[in-house]
Every structure is written in C-alpha cells, then in structure tokens.
C-alpha cells in the first residue's frame, strides 16, 4: 500500500512522507525487544499535517480499511509503544520548538518533538527546570514523555509528568483538534452541549465516570508512581471540575496525538547535598527507607544500585568507579539528594548512622558528579553487549515503598531460580526497581524464558500491590498483564474509553489492548541493540 498512500499524503502535507526500506527499517524498533515494520513515515511540519493524516486514516476506516497511526518521539520507549505497522508520525524533525516561556507564571508552551535535554538547558539558563525528567533526557522528546507519563529521579519529591502537564492540544482520531485543560462545572456543560466529536467524547466520558465511580476508585494504587492503563481517576473532581488532560497523559498515543503542550516549570536550585550510603542488609535498607519517608525533611531523590550491577560495571571497566565504592562491595549503594541543603538534619544523620554500613555526604560539585556517577554508570550495563548477549529492558514495576524489601527478595528469588545474570537499580524512593537480565534473543530458549520470567515477575508485583507499569512506557509488552493488575471491570472501562476516543482502533492499536503473549512471541526481535543512542549514551 505504501506508494499510493505515500503519494496521496505527500500531495496534501507540508512535511515529508517517506517509505524507503531504510527509513522503515529504522523506525521498526524502539527501545524495546519488539519489532514491527511501518508502511511509511510522515514528518509533520505543523498541526494541520497531523490533522490531515488522521482525517485520511479516519475516512479509510469508515470504508473498512484500517491504517494504524503511531505517534513517535525519539523512540526510546522500552515496551514497544513507539512502533507500529501503519503510519509513523515522527515529531523530532520539525515540530520541536519552544512556543512560549512565561517565567512569571512558571509555565511553558512547546511542540511535542522538542528534545527534553535541550529544553532543560534552556530552562536552566533562566533559573528553572522541568522536574520529572528521565535519566535518558538527552534522547527523549517532551511529547513522548507526556504520552508515557515519564518519571525520573526527582519524581520522588515532585511527582510524575502528569503533575506538570496543564493543557494539551490534541488531534483526535477523526482529525478534529481539542484543547484539554481543567474546566469548571459551567465550562463542562458547554462542552457537553457541543454537536461535534469533541462533545461526544465529553458526554461519553462524563457518563462513564458518573456510572462507574466505585470501579474507578479501585484504580487508585498505593504506589507513588503508576503509568498503567488510563488515568480515569483524576478526570472529574468532587467539585464538578473536569479535565481530559490526565487521560491523555500516559495514554501512549492511543487516544489522540498531542500537537502542543503547556507545562508548569519549577525554580531550579543547583545547590544540593548528596549522600552516598552503603548497605549490607536488606532489612536495614528497608528500615532506612521507612525512616527517611517518615522524616519531616524529604529528599528530592533516593536512587539504588545493587551489588550485581556494581559487579557488572567493574567487569566492563574496572577503573570506572575506582575509589568510589568501599571494599568489599556493599549489597546496595543508595544515592540520596537534598536540594538546596547545606548540611544534614540530626534526624537523618541518626537514620544513616543506625542503618548504613557507611555513608558520606558532600556539597562539593566535583564530588557530587562522582557520587552521581555510581547511579549513572548503569548505562554501561544497558549499552554493553557481548555478541548477542544483552542486558534486556524487561522489568521495571514499582511497589509501595514499605514493601521494597519483599520486592527485592522476590526479584533475587526469580534471579536464582532461573540462573540469571542480572543487574538491579532504580528510583527506590518510589518503590521502583529496574531488573535487566542478560539474555540472547537469538536463542529460542532465552526467548521462551522471557515469558516465563514475565509470569513470575508480575505475580510478584501484583502480590505486593504494585504496578506493572511504573516507567519506561505502558506499551505492548505490558498489555497482556494490564487486566490482571486492575481486574476485569476496570479493564472493561479502559476499553470503553478507547472505544469512545478511537472507535475504529486507528491510534496505536495493540498498545494497552489486543496484544496477547502469543502476539508478542511473533514480533520479538532476534537481536537487541540500543544503537539509536550510541552517539551519546543515556545516564541509565
Ligand atoms: C536507557 C533508558 C532509560 C530510561 N529511563 C526511564 C525512566 O527513568 N523513567 C521513565 O519514565 N522512562 C524511562 N525510559 C523510557 C523512555 O525514555 C521514556 O518513555 C521517554 O519519555 C519516551 O520519549 P520518546 O521521545 O523516546 O518517546 P517515544 O518512545 O517515541 O514514544 C513513547 C510513547 O509516546 C507516544 N508519543 C510520542 N509522541 C507523541 C505525541 N506527540 N502524541 C501522542 N503520543 C505520542 C508514542 O506513540 C509512544 O507510545 C528510559 C529509556 C531508556 C532507553
């Protein structure tokens, strides 16, 4: 189909339409272990190009022909949500501008394809920053971050991307454009009266919420971060105010395509106090986390690297962390940051004295770089491969923080039972851990092992009241497990939301719905690589 559709679209769009085999191959992978070859790529120059592409797909769908549309930022998503077998709408080429920076209101308007790292640099020069930045910010786009509800190290204090996303312009499946923002009861009534697709969406979502409040209440998790499913919980408040924005944040391009976003920003304080704490016991680690969490003065981030990760870093380069970790290697190193602090409070010193094997603190910039390097050095693991053996991005759920110990014990059980070589790190302040086992996707045995591991891992996560999708996206790899996390009734509501926004299933189909484990087996890559990123590696 590529040629005729591409020629037709090129005639109507300002941006380029490309269907060369090189381009299709490049866009067939993202940061995940999956592969799907698109039929063509559209590089929109403006919102109108997105509208026309969506309108075209909608009109074809009305005649029974579905061409999927997958929005794409930098393609770093690790769960297979930035790939698709239809049209890829690639944002980084043109729609990458800052539209407005309002330092008085602490707000920012941007196009979705802007690079997160570059935007952050601009904000820093004005004394601001966007707090929920992910460690790989130099690669990712803000559009991708919003659509995945990204969390980063400072989400412990500031929350996830949803807390900073105030307004969105969204191209709907039929090509109409809506602006989402918090609406008063009166503004909502106006929307409910519209005779457009927008009006239909407001009416249907409002009714769905009113009729299913009890089920929606069960969707709240006790984890501090969660990107699984759709965030119906935050759409309608008790005072009658209504906002579709939280529904679009984290929707992975399955409900609409973001063409513009307005975000809140924060003052940036480059002065920090950083603690490097070494632990030898899981029990003491949990006690320290509980005590820090209950303390008056919360840090901005609490990050963990385990011993197996340290061993792998030493194996790859024995000199990389030279002098930074004491001998023998501790079971865990935890890096804790207090923004704007000059010295530690007595209560935190007491906690560290009681529970760590040793700890050091610093406010010196050079030493901070060294402390941070410990956490950032896990990028050596993610980027390193030994022929086809690669550390695979498979597991990164989160649990309530008071269950971190059980989470780690469970992970080590899975690692031992399955004889895995793995490394563990994560935003432990949010109960999040990333586990990347070394496997060879070229071997049938290892590919089969992945699905056995998924079963064991998700059973563990769910038994601890955790979330299957805390970061790295809520894409195809998570889809088969969503229903068991939320239960049948809640999942049925998610499917209704999708049906309301996208009745023909054009927008990123296969993400959040209709991907079984068998489907995944059919699209798993034979090799894994993060070569999109090798020019400049991410921090973790
Ligand atoms: C080494 C590494 C570390 C990572 N660490 C973290 C981490 O700590 N926390 C975390 O949350 N994530 C993490 N990630 C995952 C990833 O970086 C984030 O999900 C990232 O924000 C995705 O941005 P992107 O521009 O690459 O989006 P893509 O991967 O291109 O897309 C992500 C999703 O957004 C959708 N999308 C993109 N643009 C739009 C748009 N304009 N409108 C609608 N939908 C759109 C896509 O369809 C897709 O579903 C990590 C990834 C890597 C490779």
Is residue 490 a part of any domain in this protein?
Answer: no
The answer on 282 and 356 residing in a single domain is yes
Report the SS3 class of residue 425: strand
Q: What is the CATH number of the domain that holds 299?
A: 3.40.462.10
The answer on 127 and 85 residing in a single domain is no
The answer on 130 and 62 residing in a single domain is no
DSSP class of 539: -
Please indicate, yes or no, whether the overall pTM of this predicted structure exceeds 0.95: yes
Residue in 48, 36, 39, 37 with CA at minimum distance from that of residue 7: 39
Kindly report, residue by residue over 153-206, the tens digit of the pLDDT: 999 999 999 999 999 999 999 999 999 999 999 999 999 999 999 999 999 999
Report the SS3 class of residue 262: strand
Residue in 46, 47, 44 with CA at minimum distance from that of residue 172: 47
In the chain, the N- to C-terminal Cα span, in Å, equals: 39
| The two three-digit tokens of residue 444, written as one number | 């049938």
Of the residues 250, 267, 284, the one at which a domain ends: 267
The answer on 320 and 425 residing in a single domain is yes
Its domain, for residue 449, covers: 272-463
DSSP class of 398: B
* Choice from 94, 177, 251, 472 to test ligand 1 binding pocket (greatest atom count within 8 A of CB): 472
Which atom of ligand 1 has the smallest separation from the CA of 253? 44
Distance 364 CA to ligand 1 centre (A): 33
Is residue 146 a part of any domain in this protein?
Answer: yes
The ligand 1 site (C-beta within 6 Å) comprises 30-31, 70-78, 81-82, 91, 112, 134-136, 140-141, 143-145, 147-148, 150-152, 252-253, 257-258, 382, 471-473, 508, 538, 540
Is residue 239 a part of any domain in this protein?
Answer: yes
Q: What is the CATH number of the domain that holds 517?
A: 3.30.43.10
The answer on 143 and 83 residing in a single domain is no
Sign of torsion, CA 60 61 65 71? positive
The answer on 298 and 217 residing in a single domain is no
The answer on 107 and 78 residing in a single domain is no
The answer on 60 and 121 residing in a single domain is no
Which atom of ligand 1 has the smallest separation from the CA of 539? 1
Is residue 400 a part of any domain in this protein?
Answer: yes
* Choice from 70, 76, 530, 538 to test ligand 1 binding pocket (greatest atom count within 8 A of CB): 76
Is residue 120 a part of any domain in this protein?
Answer: yes
Output the furthest CA–CA distance in the chain (Å, rounded): 70
Distance CA(427)–CA(437), nearest Å, equals 18
**Each residue's pLDDT tens digit in the chain (540 positions)?**
558 999 999 999 999 999 999 999 999 999 999 999 999 999 999 999 999 999 999 999 999 999 999 999 999 999 999 999 999 999 999 999 999 999 999 999 999 999 999 999 999 999 999 999 999 999 999 999 999 999 999 999 999 999 999 999 999 999 999 999 999 999 999 999 999 999 999 999 999 999 999 999 999 988 999 999 999 999 999 999 999 999 999 999 999 999 999 999 999 998 999 999 999 999 999 999 999 999 988 999 999 999 999 999 999 999 989 889 988 999 999 999 999 888 889 999 999 999 999 999 999 999 999 999 999 999 889 888 887 899 999 999 999 999 999 999 999 999 999 999 999 999 999 999 999 999 999 999 999 999 999 999 999 999 999 999 998 889 999 999 999 999 999 999 999 999 999 999 999 999 999 999 999 999 999 989 887 777 766 666
Distance 189 CA to ligand 1 centre (A): 34
Of the residues 410, 438, 463, the one at which a domain ends: 463
Is residue 477 a part of any domain in this protein?
Answer: no
The answer on 246 and 108 residing in a single domain is yes
The answer on 228 and 119 residing in a single domain is yes
DSSP class of 138: T
| The two three-digit tokens of residue 233, written as one number | 């919980």
Of the residues 229, 252, 267, the one at which a domain ends: 267
How many domains does the chain contain in total? 3
Measured from the Cβ of residue 362, the count of other Cβ atoms closer than 10 Å reads: 16
Q: What is the CATH number of the domain that holds 257?
A: 3.30.465.10
The answer on 447 and 346 residing in a single domain is yes
The answer on 437 and 360 residing in a single domain is yes
Is residue 220 a part of any domain in this protein?
Answer: yes
Is residue 491 a part of any domain in this protein?
Answer: no
Distance 337 CA to ligand 1 centre (A): 25
């Amino acid at each position: 189909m590529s040629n005729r559709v591409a020629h037709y679209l090129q005639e109507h769009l300002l941006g380029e339409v490309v269907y060369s085999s090189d381009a299709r191959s490049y866009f067939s992978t993202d940061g995940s272990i999956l592969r799907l070859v698109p039929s063509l790529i559209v590089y929109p120059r403006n919102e109108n190009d997105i509208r026309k592409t969506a309108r075209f797909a909608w009109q074809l769908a009305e005649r029974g022909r579905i061409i999927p549309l997958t929005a794409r930022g930098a393609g770093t998503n690790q769960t297979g949500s930035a790939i698709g077998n239809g049209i890829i709408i690639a944002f980084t080429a043109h729609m990458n501008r800052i539209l407005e920076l309002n330092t008085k209101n602490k707000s920012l308007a941007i196009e979705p394809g802007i690079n997160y790292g570059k935007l952050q640099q601009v904000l820093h020069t004005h004394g601001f920053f966007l707090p929920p930045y992910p460690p790989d910010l130099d690669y990712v786009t803000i559009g991708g971050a919003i659509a995945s509800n990204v969390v980063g190290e400072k989400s412990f204090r500031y929350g996830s991307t949803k807390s900073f996303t105030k307004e969105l312009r969204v191209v709907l499946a039929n090509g109409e454009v809506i602006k989402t923002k918090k609406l008063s009861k009166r503004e909502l009534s106006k929307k409910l009266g519209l005779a457009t697709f927008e009006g239909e969406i407001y009416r249907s979502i409002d009714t769905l919420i009113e009729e299913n409040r009890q089920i929606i209440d069960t969707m709240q998790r006790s984890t501090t971060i969660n990107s699984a499913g759709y965030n119906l919980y935050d759409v309608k408040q008790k005072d009658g105010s209504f906002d579709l924005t939280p529904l679009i944040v984290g929707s992975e391009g399955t409900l609409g395509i973001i063409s513009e976003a307005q975000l809140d920003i924060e003052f940036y304080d480059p002065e920090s106090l950083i603690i490097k704490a070494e632990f030898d016991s899981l029990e003491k680690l949990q006690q320290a986390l509980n005590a820090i969490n209950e303390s008056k003065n919360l840090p901005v981030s609490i990050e963990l690297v385990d011993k197996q990760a340290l061993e792998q870093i030493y194996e790859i380069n024995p000199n990389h962390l030279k002098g930074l970790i004491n001998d023998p290697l501790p079971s865990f190193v935890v890096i804790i940051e207090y923004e704007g602090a000059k010295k530690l409070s007595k209560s935190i010193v007491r906690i560290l004295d009681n529970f760590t094997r040793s700890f050091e603190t610093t406010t010196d910039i050079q030493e901070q770089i060294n402390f941070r390097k410990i956490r950032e050095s896990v990028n050596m693991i993610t980027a390193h491969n030994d022929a086809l053996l690669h550390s695979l991005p498979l597991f990164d759920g989160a649990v309530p923080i008071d269950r971190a110990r059980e989470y780690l014990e469970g992970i080590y059980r899975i690692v031992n039972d399955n004889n895995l070589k793995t490394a563990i790190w994560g935003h432990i302040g949010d109960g999040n851990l990333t586990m990347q086992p070394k496997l060879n996707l070229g071997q049938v045995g290892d590919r089969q092992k992945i699905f056995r591991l998924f079963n064991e891992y998700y059973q563990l996560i769910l038994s601890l009241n955790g979330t299957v999708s805390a970061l790295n996206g809520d894409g195809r790899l998570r889809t088969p497990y969503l229903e068991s996390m939320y239960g049948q009734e809640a999942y049925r509501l998610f499917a209704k939301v999708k049906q309301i926004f996208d009745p023909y299933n054009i927008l990123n189909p296969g993400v959040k719905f209709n991907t079984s484990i068998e489907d995944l087996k059919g699209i798993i890559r034979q090799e894994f690589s993060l070569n999109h990123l090798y020019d400049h590696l991410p921090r973790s």
